[in-house]
Amino acid sequence: QPCWSEYLTTRIEQNMIVNCTCPISECRAQPTTAFICSIISSKEIIAKYEKALLRGYVECCSNLTWCTNPQGCDQILLKDGLGYGAACSKCSWISCFNCNFPEAHYPASCSHMSHMTCAKCNHGFCWRCLKPWRPAHKDYYNCSAMVSKAAWQEKRFQDYNERCTFHHHAREFAMSLRNRVSSISEMPKIRTLTFVLDACKMLEQARKVLAYSCVYSYYNQDTESMDIVEQQTESLELHTNAL
């Protein structure tokens, strides 16, 4: 039993307990959960084992995923097929189910969020695999293009990037404001501030859409549809600034 205990504990500590087999090389039998729990007496090690089982189960299920909130959240989300993401019931963070970007990014597509461009030579590449965007990723730019075109592309990128960054910072401000108002509203003799909290939530959502609209507009090549998008974006930005 001491040998088994040390073996299983090491496997759990190294996060290699899932699909663990008997230490005898000729034996491919896997220890059951009941057997592991009867051997391991440490509650801490058992807790790690249970987490490993849960993590393995989620990774094996195509309709399950973890919440991607960068602040930290252990909630499991169900991919119900109703869109690119859904709000976490625990922290309200909206994750994207189709790519590795940490949050839902509508109206920008998943392809937009993985496409990076060098500001110096205009070379496009995928940030996930680091391979050239062309031909596998359908590159939109060419490193052998004229210098004037490269300079124009760089300036265009900087403009959209600055707008996107501004809206992200404005969104963070709205989140900070909502937190401050929430703490004030809990004080006695303070009238309800629900309408202010609702306004802050609306600001957060609007700034998020505006930020990712910059990504969408930067990559969209359809001039006719872009006129409509730019008009709608301008209208939303005007109302958001007023709010």
Least confident range from 51-55, 150-154, 174-178: namely 150-154
Adjacent-strand bridge partners of 86: 95
Q: What percent of the chain clears pLDDT 70, i.e. is strictly above it?
A: 74
Q: Do residues 198 and 85 share a domain?
A: no
Q: Does pTM surpass 0.75?
A: no
Are 205 and 103 within 8 A, CB to CB? no
Among 104, 123, 157, residue at a domain's last position: 104
Name the domain boundary from 104, 136, 169.
Answer: 104
The whole domain housing 124 covers 115-242
Structure confidence by residue, pLDDT tens digits, 121-139: 666 666 555 566 665 544 3
Write out the H or E segment, with its range, that includes residue 18. Answer: none
Rounded to an integer, what distance in angstroms lies between the CA atom of residue 31 and that of residue 19? 9
Alpha helix (H) residue ranges in 61-122:
110-114
Residue 25 lies in a domain: yes
Closest by alpha carbon to 63, among 98, 111, 89? 98
The answer as to whether 140 is a domain residue is yes
pLDDT digits 0-9 by tens, 193-216: 788 889 999 999 999 999 999 888
Considering the domain architecture, whether residues 138 and 231 belong to the same structural domain is answered as yes
Tell me: do 66 and 52 sit in the same domain. Answer: no
